[in-house]
Amino acid sequence: MSKKIIIIGGGAAGMMAALSVKRNGGDALILEKNDRVGKKLLATGNGRCNYTNKNLNINNYHGNNPKFAYSALSEFDVERTIEFFESLGITPAVEDNGKVFPLSFQASSMLDVLRYEIETQGIELITEAQVFEIKKKNQFTVTLKDKRIFEGDRVIIATGGMALPSSGSDGNGYNLCKKLGHTITEIFPGLVQLKLESKFLRALDGVKFLGVAGIYIDNKLILEDSGDILFTSYGISGPPVLQLSRTALDYMNKEKNVELRVSIIHTKTQEELLEYLVNRFKLMPNKTIEIALIGLINKKLIIPLLKETNIDKNKNAASLSKDEMRKLSEILTSWSFKVIGSQSWGNAQVTAGGVNTAEVDNKTMESKIVKGLYIVGELLDIDGDCGGFNLQWAWSSGYIAGLNAAKN
């Protein structure tokens, strides 16, 4: 007789786990808290769903032991994932940096084909079913908040982390796992905008530029990334900032002073820029420095930069002292800010931290504490960089858990 496997959570990992159970001869039941599955999937990739990445490397993953992810990511790898979704109707579109999207560029296409497959494969799906408790004797007994009870041979927990709680993943899965004897590592938002300390934020709000951002600890560069950067009323945003946020917050949690440096002009070194500015200002003998910077940088940056460097905006550009010229070239190539925190869970794309991976078998996703229990997706202490790596983790871990739950 085929095994009955209860999957808790109908997100990316849960839906993949259910399909894998079915393909491997098991009976799957999905219990989803929301009135529909895959709510978060619709929000991914700005509504376009960046569902994997051709350049995937284990270094794109983080956690107390990122290598935990290696086995599942190699078994149900990027190629298998692309093939899997192609068989469901998703034609892949590969963009810069290896990011893969459905050619329709609609996240809803991903959800549509998954839901179609779930329905046609006869997978039982119960929505508005919030799991409250999981108990194991010979079998698993799963109790919902409204007291309905389900029994199964195996349970796969796929309740996600804390990012975007309005999508359903509000962290309640950690309690389910704790009650079963698991420990949870420190959790904090990953891929999130950073709050900075600066008296100029209001003036800078809305300034966007193509630049480089770097995290510095004790004057040492730890990590940097480039792309579109946006100043906001609370601090800073944009893809490079999201990418750096995990490292920044990790150091903050370790009570380090975290500095973020941005280069507004990244195409020249400080020395080259200094030379360029000297020549530029010579050609504008009658312009004040405030006017002489127009056309070089976003106009909204000019006054804050001059205030920060204590340069009088009415001073003639050509008459700037050597020291003022040096300060200006320095700040334009490396403007330093203190990081004081991040936006909250509602803005985060992923959860750093989660169920301790030392308590889970990385080849099967089975709990080492409760036999027959499997834990997958963002709920585990594994998080990926921006670029399709988090969904790939959800697909890979979900698939492997489904396979092993059905077969073993």
Instruction: In whole angstroms, give the CA distance from residue 376 to residue 366.
Output: 9
The closest alpha carbon to 328, from 342, 313, 349, 341, belongs to 313
Closest CA relative to residue 180, chosen from 6, 366, 31, 370: 370
d(CA 283, CA 273): 15
Size of the site for ligand FAD (CB under 6 A): 40
Are 258 and 197 contacting, i.e. CB atoms less than 8 angstroms apart? no
Which CB sits closer to ligand FAD, 83 or 271?
83
30 binds ligand FAD (CB under 6 A): no
Is residue 160 within 8 Å of 173, Cβ to Cβ?
yes
- Out of 13, 21, 264, 301, the only residue in the binding site for ligand FAD (CB under 6 A) is 13
State the Cα–Cα distance between residues 396 and 81, nearest whole angstrom: 8
Question: By rule CB under 6 A, what string of x and - marks binding of each residue 353-382 to ligand FAD?
Answer: ------------------------xxx---
Instruction: Report CA-CA distances (Å) from 406 to 53, 155, 212, 270, 306.
Output: 28, 10, 48, 60, 65
**Residue 83: Cβ within 10 Å count:** 12
- Nearest approach in angstroms of CB 155 to ligand FAD is 11
Residue closer to ligand FAD, measured from CB, 224 or 385: 385
| 14 binds ligand FAD per the rule CB under 6 A | yes
Kindly tell me which residue out of 4, 33, 182, 195 binds ligand FAD, with binding defined by CB under 6 A.
Answer: 33
Among positions 111-130, residues that touch ligand FAD (CB under 6 A) are: 130
Least distance from C-beta 361 to ligand FAD, angstroms?
A: 18
By CB under 6 A, name the one of 4, 5, 7, 11 that touches ligand FAD.
11
Which one of 256-264, 288-296, 306-314, 385-393 is the stretch in contact with ligand FAD (CB under 6 A)?
385-393
Which string of b and e fits 350-364 if b means at least 16 CB within 10 Å? bbbbbbbbebbbbeb
Q: Which stretch binds ligand FAD (CB under 6 A): 162-170, 182-190, 266-274, 365-373?
A: 162-170
* Cβ distance to ligand FAD smaller for residue 11 or 235: 11
Asked if residues 239 and 386 have their Cβ atoms less than 8 Å apart, the reply is yes
Binding site for ligand FAD (CB under 6 A): 8-14, 31-34, 39-40, 43-45, 49-50, 130-131, 158-160, 163-164, 167-169, 172-173, 349-350, 377-379, 388-391, 394
